[in-house]
Amino acid sequence: GSLRGGRQVGFTAIAPPTPSPGGGVRGARVRMPANTPAGVYFRSMASRGQLGGTSRSVRGVVHLLDSFGKDVILIETVGAGQSDVAVRTLAHTTVVVSVPGLGDDIQMLKAGILEIADVYVVNKADRDGADRTAAQLASMIEIGRESARAIGHGSDDGWVPPVVRTVALKGERVDELADALDAHRTYLVQSGRWDTLVRAQAEAELQEALLVRLEQLLARSPVAARKDQLIGDIAARKLDAYQAADALLAMLAPGA
C-alpha cells in the first residue's frame, strides 16, 4: 500500500536479542520476500535488551532513513506487550496487530497496549474467530471512549481507531490498512496534533540523549569506581536508588 504513488519505504524490524554468540535468525527477515520490492529498504536489528520494545539505536536508523528520502518508515517492535509503548516516542501512527485464536484479547487487556494504538489490525482474518476478535476490539475501543467521557476527558479526541481485517499473505485488504494510516496522518495535520506530537517526541529524544551522555560521562570518570559500592548499598537497603544517584551526581559535579 505504501508503494502507491511511488513512495519510498524504509522498514526496520526489532527482535529480542539472542544469547547465541553467532547471532540469530530474525523472523521478520525470513518473512520478507527473496526479492525486496523496488523502493523498499529493509533492516532488522536486535533490541539489545532495551525495554520498550525498541532498540536505542532505532531512532538513529529512523533519522537516517528519513535523510535518505524515505517517505514512509515502518518500525516493527518486539511484540512485548506493555513494554512496546515506547514506540510512541518514535512513531506518528501506532498500529497494534492481533490474530484470532491466540487469546490476544485477554493479553491486550492485561498489558494495556490497547491504549497506544491509532489503528488496529486483525491479521489472518480468514481464520475462525476473526469476527469475534474484531468485535472485541471494537467493543474495547468504545468502552475506552465511554470511560474518557465519564471522567471528564471529553467525548473523544476526534479520532476513532479503525479495526482493519487483513490477510497479509494474500495481500487482502492491505490497501485498506494503508488508507487508514494515511487518514490518521491527515487527521494529525488538520487537527494541529502533529506539531504537538513532534515536539513530545523531540523532548523524549533529548531525554534519551542526555541519559546516554550521562552514562558515558560516568564511565570515563573516576567516580565509576564508586558505582559498585553504591549498588551494594542499594542491595543491602542502606540507600535507595535515588539517594545513590544523587551521590554519584554530587561526585560528578561537586557544588552543582
pLDDT of res. 39: 83
The pLDDT of residue 51 is 47
Residue for grid cell 529480542: 16
Q: Residue 153: its pLDDT value, please?
A: 54
* Mean pLDDT across 47-69: 75
Asked if residue 112 has pLDDT above 50, the reply is yes
Alpha helices, H only, the chain: 27-31, 58-67, 104-111, 130-150, 174-191, 193-220, 227-235, 241-252
What is the spatial distance between Cα 186 and Cα 155, in angstroms, rounded to a whole number? 20
Query: Residue type for 19, please?
Result: P
Distances, alpha carbon 125 to alpha carbons 3, 131, 163, 165, 167, in Å: 23, 8, 11, 6, 6
Grade residue 130 by pLDDT with cuts at 50, 70 and 90.
very high
Q: How confident is the model at residue 1 (pLDDT cuts 50, 70, 90)?
A: low
Mean pLDDT in residue range 192-213:
93
pTM, two decimals, is 0.80
Instruction: Give the pLDDT score at 145.
Output: 78
Give 56 or 181, the one with higher predicted confidence.
181
- In the prediction, which pLDDT does 50 show? 52
| Better pLDDT: 106 or 225 | 225
Q: What is the pLDDT of residues 15-43, one digit of tens each?
A: 766 555 555 444 455 555 556 677 888 88
Sheet hosting strand 40-46, strand order edge to edge: 40-46, 9-15, 72-76
Are 53 and 47 a contacting pair, CB within 8 Å? yes
Q: Name 91's Cβ contacts closer than 8 Å, sequence gap at least 6.
A: 75
The pLDDT-based confidence of 14 (bands split at 50, 70, 90) is confident
Q: Which three cell numbers stand for residue 19?
A: 544469547
